[in-house]
Amino acid sequence: MSKGHLNLKSVFSKERTFRPKKHFEPGTTKFELHKKAQASLRSGLDLKAIVNLPDGEDLNDWVAVHVVDFFNRINLIYGTVSDFCTSETCPVMSGGPKYEYRWQDNSKYKKPTILSAEDYIGELMQWIEQLINDEDIFPTKVGTPFPKSFQTTCKKILTRLHRVFVHVYIHHFDRVHSMGAEAHINACYKHFFYFVKTFNLVDKRELEPLKEMQATICHH
């Protein structure tokens, strides 16, 4: 095992995960799809190609599996910089001076509210966790239909998860670089970017803050 790989193992250790990982139960359609998606990733295939919907599979199932996977990965990514992302260093959830994100969940925060990046991301991860563990929204049993609002919910989740990438890249990239985690995070971002572009799940305006990086690492 290479030294770099060992370093990443410690960087992305389970203890640092921001929230517990969500798993699919073996024997379910989503578990099989998850395995298929993971196998494609490990095989080193072109990231742009592996996001495409496999023949004969249901689009909602494919999107559900990826939403959960991205949630788990972005949790880990944020976990690597969370010690350096405090209310002092990042009093507002932002992506540089041009982009500021306010939190609204229609329960605890009924209006868009300025939060520190740490609090915004904490609220976001909790909000997503509740959604993906709700059988009425993310059904795991074979034959249970998805709600009509499923794609809309996923767009909202993925849009907000993209903001975590924006914050980490713009405000904490020196930390990512110094830990030797840059290649790993770039690969995660490319996978995410190709997926949301292919299925039109994140608005173009939301992708704007990282457009220079997309031009460098993501070949449209």
| 132-169 pLDDT per residue, tens | 999 999 988 878 899 999 999 999 999 999 999 999 99
* Residue 49 main-chain phi, psi, to 5 deg: -80, -35
Percent of the chain with pLDDT over 70: 79
For residues 181, 187, 188, 192, the Cα torsion angle rounded to the nearest 10 degrees is 150
pLDDT of residue 10: 42
Q: Inform me whether the pLDDT recorded for 58 exceeds 80.
A: yes
Identify whether 17 is part of a domain: no
Q: Rounded to the nearest 5°, which phi and psi values hold at 64?
A: -60, -45
Quick check: helix, strand or coil at residue 95? coil
Share of the chain above pLDDT 90, in %: 59
CATH of the domain at 170: 1.20.140.30
pLDDT value, residue 125: 95
CA distances from 185 to 12, 51, 173 (A): 11, 17, 10
Partners of residue 94 on adjacent β-strands = 100
pLDDT at 27: 57
Please give the tally of structural domains in the chain: 1
5 domain-assigned: no
Asked if the structure places residue 186 within a domain, the reply is: yes
Alpha helical stretches, state H, 51-116? 59-81
Let me know if residue 16 belongs to a domain.
no
Question: Average pLDDT of 108-121?
Answer: 96
111 part of a folded domain: yes
For residue 59, is pLDDT > 90?
yes
Chain mean pLDDT for the chain: 84
| Domain coverage including residue 149 | 28-217
18, part of any domain: no
What pLDDT sits at residue 184? 87
Q: pLDDT for 33-53, tens place per residue?
A: 666 666 555 555 677 888 999
Tell me what pLDDT residue 60 has.
94
Residue 74 lies in a domain: yes
In a domain, 71, yes or no: yes
CB neighbourhood size of 166 (10 A): 22
